[in-house]
Amino acid sequence: MLCEAQDPRVLAAAIRAHRDRIADVIMVGDPAQVAATASQHGLDISGIAITDPATSQARERYAQQLCHLRAKKGMTLQQAQQAIAQPLCFANLMLQMGDADGSVAGAVHTTADVVRTALQVVGANASAGSIVSSFFLMIFEHEHHPTKGGMIFSDCGLVIDPDAQQLARIALDSAKSASALLGEAPRIAMLSFSTLGSAQHVNVTKVQQATSLVRQAQPDLLIDGEVQLDAAIIPDIASRKLSDSQVHGRANVLIFPDLNAGNIGYKLAERLGGAIAVGPLLQGLNKPANDLSRGCSADDVYNVIAVTCVQAQQQQQAGADQLSSVSAGQ
């Protein structure tokens, strides 16, 4: 479900996703405006469902739900009715109420608006220690890339300076994202400028503590930390620096110690290394609601739609498995 129907990049991606049958696309917005944008850019929107917040039969139901969700913040029903007139809020309520499986926004809206609305409406996962963070699916496919395939880079877009507990949660959620999107077991590297105590600093200690917390939470995960980037991704260097490595220089999940490192790291891989960067994608929410860069291309939007579909399918499967487990125990 896409709420920035006035943007030709979003429309082009929606049409492609519909044509390729990767998603049943719902556009949220004014149908006349959508049609005008499509006509201006020569886009055929036949077959694309369009929901208008101004005329939807779900308006009152959504307003009541938003009022309920925001009651502790003092929201009145009148304020909720005004809020749902905005496509971003309406789209997130569609997701929260189960009328859509995933949401993609950010081509027009800021990351702050996208994340804030998702938190207020869709909500964060209530599990212990949960935190909403972001990741990029980085795809390496060119001849000069020594290893082909996908990697998870996190957090590169949201949490500025995570403490040890938050960094551990980011790593655990990123491992789940890797399992869902890469089709292989996660191999985590907790990145630092130090490898196993080669340097001493409070920033190194944070990564060491986070690594220990991940191991305590999930002893079966393959994880190295704290570790420098070269030892995380180059087997020969890992064999010299990490005698008891679990990842052996083949990390597919890179956890950056803060947003400075993460944001710079993914952009270096994308702009100088030629990797495809899909995201920023959000993790830690109750349902998939993903962000886009306002500088995105139609291809970027298409890729995020595809990932959102996979996340939704994984979540539905997890819910079905949980229900089956509960039924079996009764």
pLDDT digits (tens, 9 = 90+) for 244-264: 899 999 999 999 999 999 999
Angle at 12 between CA 294 and CA 44, to 5 degrees: 150
Tell me, yes or no, whether 138 and 100 share the same domain.
Answer: no
Per the structure, the count of domains in the chain is 2
- Give 296: exposed, middle or buried? Use CB within 10 Å, 0-12, 13-18, 19+: buried
The answer to whether residue 234 sits within a structural domain is yes
Confidence of residue 318 (pLDDT cuts 50, 70, 90): low
Confidence of residue 326 (pLDDT cuts 50, 70, 90): very low
Tell me, yes or no, whether 233 and 163 share the same domain.
Answer: yes
pLDDT digits (tens, 9 = 90+) for 51-68: 999 999 999 999 999 999
Q: Could you tell me the pTM of the whole model? A: 0.84
Torsion of CA 130, 213, 135, 323, to 10 degrees: -50
Tell me, yes or no, whether 158 and 231 share the same domain.
Answer: yes
The two three-digit tokens of residue 13, written as one number: 């991606």
The answer to whether residue 182 sits within a structural domain is yes
Tell me, yes or no, whether 142 and 273 share the same domain.
Answer: yes
- Rounded CA separation 64/262 (Å): 39
The answer to whether residue 152 sits within a structural domain is yes
- Residue 174: CATH number of its domain: 3.40.50.10750
The answer to whether residue 2 sits within a structural domain is no
- Residue 93: CATH number of its domain: 3.40.50.10950
> HSE on the CB side for 155, CA within 13 Å?
25
Residue in 234, 240, 237, 255 with CA at minimum distance from that of residue 164:
255
pLDDT on residue 330: 57
Tell me, yes or no, whether 295 and 273 share the same domain.
Answer: no
- Give 297: exposed, middle or buried? Use CB within 10 Å, 0-12, 13-18, 19+: middle
Domain coverage including residue 63: 8-123+287-328
Task: Identify whether the C-beta of residue 250 lies closer than 8 Å to the C-beta of residue 224.
Answer: no
Tell me, yes or no, whether 174 and 250 share the same domain.
Answer: yes
